[in-house]
Amino acid sequence: MIVVFWKERKEDPFEVYSSLKNFCLTYKQYSYNTISHYISGLRVAFENDEVRVERKQIISKPSEESSLKIRNIVPVVRKVLLKEANDAEHDLDYWLSKTAAERISAVTNLVSESIKRGQRIDKRKIVKRKLKV
């Protein structure tokens, strides 16, 4: 596929051609051999003050790498009766599995979501401790 970018055009600055020959037949001032030498032999775009001509590859089928990837999406669902859920224990196990930095980040995020814009936190009740890393 041949992509042509006209530098001076305000409307429709791009044109796409199925082959370089079709472009050169449409615009007789451009030599097929010269442009072909640039985009095929030198593997660079042909460019002058008016136009930039590039060859782009058309992808007609998905690459083999993408078809080999198998997605493993597992739904996280736990169905139990509400009276048997024991969520406090599950919550505690979850948060204990996280690092101290992750827990502090989560608390900071929850606090920032709960306060209004411009509102400040009453820091008299907060005890600051340094983390042991």
Helices assigned H by DSSP within 3-132: 20-26, 32-36, 64-68, 87-96, 100-114
**Has residue 37 got a pLDDT over 60?**
yes
At 112-127, the pLDDT tens digits run: 888 888 888 777 777 7
Give the per-residue pLDDT at 61. Answer: 77
**8 Å CB contact between 4 and 52:** yes
pLDDT given for residue 58 in this prediction: 82
CB atoms within 10 A of CB 13: 13
pLDDT of amino acid 67 = 56
Largest CA distance in the chain: 83
User: Partners of 47 in the beta sheet?
Assistant: 52
CA distance 23 to 3: 10
pLDDT digits (tens, 9 = 90+) for 54-94: 998 887 777 676 556 677 788 888 788 888 888 888 889 98
pLDDT recorded at residue 103:
92
Could you report the per-residue pLDDT of 21-35, keeping only the tens digit for each?
999 999 999 999 999
